[in-house]
Amino acid sequence: MYNPKSLKAEEFISDEEIRDTLAYADANKDNIELIDSILEKAKERKGLSHREASVLLACEDEKKVQEMYTLAEQIKKDFYGNRIVMFAPLYLSNYCINGCVYCPYHIKNQHIARKKLTQEEIVKEVTALQDMGHKRLALEAGEDPKNNPIEYILECIKTIYSIKHKNGAIRRVNVNIAATTVEEYRMLKEAGIGTYILFQETYNKKSYEELHPYGPKSNYAYHTEAMDRAMEGGIDDVGLGVLFGLELYRYEFAGLLMHAEHLEAVHGVGPHTISVPRLKRADDIDPDTFDNGIDDETFAKICALIRISVPYTGMIISTRESQAVREKVIKLGVSQISGASKTSVGGYCEEEPEEENSEQFDVSDKRTLDEVVKWLMEMGYIPSFCTACYREGRTGDRFMSLCKSGQIQNCCHPNALMTLKEYLIDYASEDTRKIGEALIEAELGNIPKEKVKEICKENLLKIEQGIRDFRF
Ligand code: SAM
């Protein structure tokens, strides 16, 4: 039954194949010879299959786990350098007709305040986000064809791209909305979205159906096959994710990699990003009532193994995680993080009174964007506000070719420095600016091509003179 090329959910995410994989991983978790050969293969930086990666996940040998971490760190450095891309979520509406038992937006929640941003409110929210320095957003909305039809989402995207406040602009809008039709994906593509993100929540069909008892999202196949429809609609950057805590993490890990293998097999390009959210406390949701929570160490191991298994896929971590956890997993492979996020509808403009709570979940990292930027730089990372790739048409396999060509240091690196410079001049505190200027100076030396370095230096000067939006 298992067929990565099939377009049927139950064939490319075959339950039988996952169970066989887990049994194989259990049987081989102490097989050091096999583990060494898998690690050797991983060192070629061409990725691992779900079976190979599952053996590593099952292995508990401390020395081998340490080798996995070291390799993940090295691959992270080779592919992503020390750049960390910044973004923020923007909640448009929490009206929802689904019954997801882990999400406070489920239709039966009478307690949560229901809100939907008007276009005027979007202008205010986006202005507040621009004033922090954000250039890249992930739009979030519940599923509700009456309150949040595609026309509403499209109108919001148009409004967001049109807002030019001081030197601010949102240059890339990613979208995280419910699974939809090819036709609607095509409309999103035409509206100029970056990545289409949809979390699978769980790859286990039986659990999926229990966790989504009613509403359009209850259709496992329709949800699981969404990325194929998105790609058919012309979106070639798609973002996968699992909500860790719902099902056995080893099952989810195998499923996630099988999904990536499926996209590669059918469309010739794997996922652009993988997100690793963990279940959090929320309005009427108590994460302790779910049995499959994972500790920080297991979480870190999953992140490291995703890095090793799909080296070209970006990895995203949100403010669901604390500063300490973020610090750990950024090192092991995360390439994109959110900063100063609000998970309420309208939260960037106004603090919500307790009785009007519209939040999707509790945020652990509550620092300002300036604090996050400073923290990253103090650890030696370059916070990047770059959005160049998709604006230059480098999406899907064209982005992958850039990664594979080894030209990232001549492209993403100067772009990161130039967008950081904009941030420092337009939004940073005095302290952050000082650290940033020194970092840029030092990092200019890491641009390999002389010509690119010269252009980058010239552009940095122009940014000081007030010109914006340079890119390679
Ligand atoms: N409604 C769309 C959908 O169903 O895909 C949009 C996604 S929703 C706004 C964003 C994501 O938040 C969900 O896919 C889910 O994984 C996550 N989420 C929901 N409840 C959560 C909770 N209690 N803790 C952490 N993440 C949660």
Mean pLDDT of 36-52: 97
The residue contributing the CA closest to ligand 1 atom 11 is 199
CA of 107 to the centre of ligand 1 (A): 14
DSSP 296-343: HHHHHHHHHHHHHH-TTSEEEE-TTS-HHHHHHHHHHT--EEE-S---
- Distance from the alpha carbon of residue 279 to the mean position of ligand 1, in angstroms: 9
Is the pLDDT at 382 greater than 90? The verdict is yes
Q: Is the CB of 231 under 6 A from ligand 1?
A: no
Residue 405 has pLDDT above 90, yes or no: no
Q: Which of 199, 278, 338 has most ligand 1 atoms within 8 Å of CB, for mutation?
A: 199
Model pLDDT, residue 351 = 87
> What confidence tens digit (pLDDT) does each residue in 144-171 have?
999 999 999 999 999 999 999 999 999 9
Does the Cβ of 198 fall within 6 Å of ligand 1? yes
* Amino acid 11: pLDDT: 98
For ligand 1, atom 1, the nearest C-alpha belongs to 142
Residue 403, pLDDT above cutoff 90: no
How far does residue 163's CA lie from ligand 1's centre (Å)? 27
Is the per-residue pLDDT at 406 higher than 80? no
16 close to 1: Cβ distance less than 8 angstroms: yes
pLDDT of residue 353: 86
Q: Across residues 283-305, what is the average pLDDT?
A: 97
Put residue 462 in one of left, alpha, beta given phi > 0 → left and psi -120 to 50 → alpha.
alpha
Q: What is the mean pLDDT of residues 227-231?
A: 98
Region of residue 215 (phi > 0: left; psi between -120 and 50: alpha; otherwise: beta)? left
Residue 399 has pLDDT above 90, yes or no: no
Distance of alpha carbon 467 from alpha carbon 461, whole angstroms: 9
447 Cβ contact list (under 8 Å, min separation 6)? 409, 410, 413, 414, 453, 456
For residue 199, which atom of ligand 1 is closest to its CA? 14
273 Cα to the center of ligand 1, angstroms: 16
| Pocket test residue of 95, 103, 278, 322 for ligand 1, highest count of atoms within 8 A of CB | 103
Q: Give the CA angle between residues 472, 269, 417 to the nearest 5°.
A: 25
Q: Which atom of ligand 1 is nearest to the CA of 103?
A: 20
Position in ligand 1 atom list of the atom nearest CA 243: 16
Distance between CA atoms of residues 273 and 241, nearest Å: 8
Confirm or reject: Cβ of 282 under 6 Å from ligand 1: yes
Ligand 1: which atom is nearest the Cα of residue 140?
9
Over the chain, what is the mean pLDDT? Answer: 97
**Which residues are CB-neighbours of 53 under 8 A, at least 6 positions away?**
253, 254, 257, 305, 308, 309
How remote is the CA of residue 308 from the centroid of ligand 1, in Å? 26
The strand pairing partners of 382, in sequence order, are 83
Instruction: Using most ligand atoms within 8 A of CB, pick from 176, 198, 219, 252 the residue to mutate for ligand 1.
Output: 176
Q: Would you say residue 44 has pLDDT above 90?
A: yes
Query: What pLDDT does residue 408 have?
Result: 85
Q: What are the tokens at 291? A: 């049995």
- Rounded Cα gap, residues 121 and 346, in angstroms: 7
How far is ligand 1, taken at its centre, from the CA of residue 29, in Å? 33
**Which residue has better confidence, 244 or 357?**
244
Give the three-class secondary structure for 411. coil
Cα–Cα distance measured from residue 228 to residue 209, given in angstroms and rounded to the nearest whole number = 21
Q: Is 197 near ligand 1, meaning CB less than 6 Å away?
A: no
CA of 222 to the centre of ligand 1 (A): 17
Cβ of 97 less than 6 Å from ligand 1: no
Q: Does ligand 1 lie within 6 Å of residue 363's CB atom? A: no
pLDDT (tens digit per residue) in 59-80: 999 999 999 999 999 999 999 9
Is residue 428 helix, strand or coil? coil
223 alpha carbon to ligand 1 midpoint, in Å? 13
Confidence (pLDDT) at 137 = 98
Is 222 near ligand 1, meaning CB less than 6 Å away? no
Cβ neighbours for 62, distance < 8 A, ≥ 6 positions apart: none
pLDDT tens readout for residues 430-463: 999 999 999 999 999 999 999 999 999 999 999 9
- Which tokens belong to 378? 């103090």
DSSP tally for the chain: helices H, then strands E = 20, 9
Q: pLDDT tens across 190-214, in order?
A: 999 999 999 999 999 999 999 999 9
Ligand 1 nearest-atom number relative to CA 91: 9
Answer with the residue of higher pLDDT: 362 or 355.
Answer: 362
Asked if pLDDT for residue 89 goes beyond 90, the answer is yes
Q: 103: CA distance to ligand 1 center in Å?
A: 6
Rounded Cα distance, 351 and 211, in Å: 31
Are 141 and 180 in contact, with CB atoms under 8 Å apart?
A: no
Tell me if 85 sits within 8 A of 335, measured CB to CB.
yes
The reported pLDDT for the residue numbered 409 is 86
The number of beta carbons lying within 10 Å of the beta carbon of residue 20 is: 14
Q: What are phi and psi of 196, to 5 degrees?
A: -95, 120
Q: What is the pLDDT of residue 308?
A: 98
C-alpha to C-alpha distance for 277 and 286, rounded to whole angstroms: 16
Helix/strand/coil for 148: coil
Q: 97: CA distance to ligand 1 center in Å? A: 13
Measured from the CB, is residue 243 less than 6 Å from ligand 1?
yes
Q: Is 102 in the pocket of ligand 1 (CB under 6 A)?
A: yes
Atom from ligand 1 closest to the CA of residue 282 = 23
